Amino acid sequence: MIAMAENPEVAPVDVPQPPATAIEPLPELETVASGDDLTLTGAVGEDTAEFDNTLALELDMLTALLWAPPARARQVVEALIGSRADRDAHTTTTTVLPAGSVVFLSAVHQDVFDTVVTLLDEGSPATPVLVNARLADRGQTTRTRSVMLEIASPRHGRPVADSADLPHLAAALIDGWYRRGYRALLARMTQVTAERPTAELAGHWTALTGHQQTAETRWLAIRDTLARI
C-alpha cells in the first residue's frame, strides 16, 4: 500500500516583483503648487538696530523722492516697479519688482510711496504738499502725519537726502529687499527640513532656488537701471 503525504512538499515558485525604486512618486510640492514667492515679502532678522536703520533708510529715500524733480522721481519709481503701462497691463517681467513685493517695512512708508506712484501716474508732481493732500483725501492724515512732518521738515538730526542721493538710496532699499528674501527662503527650507519627508527635500530646494534666481535677476536689473539715472 502506498501512503500519500498529507502535505506534500511543493517547490517554491518565484513570483515576479516590480523593480525596486528608492523614492515613491511624490505629490506636487506645496512650494510649487501654491505659487508663493517668499522673496516678495521676505523675513526680518531679530537685530533691532538693523530694523531701525532700515526704517531710517526708508524715510531718507522717501524724503529724497518727494523733493526730487518730477522727472527724476519718475525714473526711480519706474526703475523699481516699472511703468504705469506695464503695471496696468499686468506685464510680468524680471527687470522690476512685481506686484506684492514688500519693499518698505513700515506700512506707513508704503502708503506714502503708493501715493507718490499714484500722483506720478496721473502726470502730477509728487511734492510733499500734494502727497499730503492726497493722503488727506484718503483719510490717512492721522496715520501718516508724523512721517509727512519728517519729510517736509526733517528733525532726525541727519543730513537731509536730496535728489542726487535718490538713486543710491533706492539701490540700498532694493538691497534690503533682496537680503530679506534670502532670509525668508532659508527659514522656509529650515522648516521643510524639520517637517517634510527626506524624499521631498530636493524638490523643495529646487523650488526655492528658482525663486532665489528670479529675485537675483530682478535685483541686478534694477540696480543697473538705477546706476544709469
Chain center to CA of 94: 12
Closest CA to 133 of 151, 113, 155, 148: 148
Instruction: Return the pLDDT at 91.
Output: 83
In a domain? residue 139: yes
Say yes or no to pLDDT of 12 above 70.
no
Does residue 73 sit within a domain?
A: yes
Residue type, 146: S
Joined grid coordinates for residue 18? 516590480
- For residue 33, the model assigns a pLDDT of 36
Q: Flag whether 17 is in a domain.
A: no
pLDDT tens digits along 37-93:
888 888 887 778 889 999 999 999 999 999 999 999 999 999 999 999 999 988 878
Output the pTM of the full model. 0.80
Task: pLDDT band for 23, please (50, 70, 90 cuts).
Answer: very low
Residues 10-34, mean pLDDT to the nearest whole number: 47
pLDDT at residue 90, rounded to an integer? 86
Is residue 1 a part of any domain in this protein? no
User: For residue 51, what are the contacts with CB-CB under 8 A and spacing of at least 6?
Assistant: 44, 45, 105
Range of the domain at 175: 40-227
Report the number of distinct structural domains present in the chain: 1
At residue 113's C-alpha, the angle toward residues 61 and 127, to 5°, is: 80
> 181 is written with which cell numbers?
528674501
Average pLDDT of span 97-124? 94
For the residues 163-189, what does the mean pLDDT come to?
Answer: 93
Q: Does residue 207 lie within any of the structural domains?
A: yes
Q: Return the amino acid letter for 44.
A: V
Q: List the grid coordinates of 170.
A: 533706492
DSSP for 191-226 reads HHHHHS-GGGHHHHHHHHHHHHHHHHHHHHHHHHHH
Q: Is residue 90 part of a domain?
A: yes
In the prediction, which pLDDT does 156 show?
A: 61
When the pLDDT of each residue in the chain is averaged and rounded to a whole number, the result is: 85
The neighbour count for residue 208, using CB atoms within 10 Å, is 21
Whichever domain contains 136, its CATH number is: 1.10.860.10
Based on its alpha-carbon atoms, the radius of gyration of the chain, rounded to whole angstroms, reads 28
- Domain contains 14: no
Using the predicted structure, report yes or no on whether residue 155 has a pLDDT greater than 70: no
- What's residue 42's pLDDT? 83
pLDDT of amino acid 44: 82
pLDDT of residue 29: 44
Kindly state the average pLDDT of the residues 86-112.
91
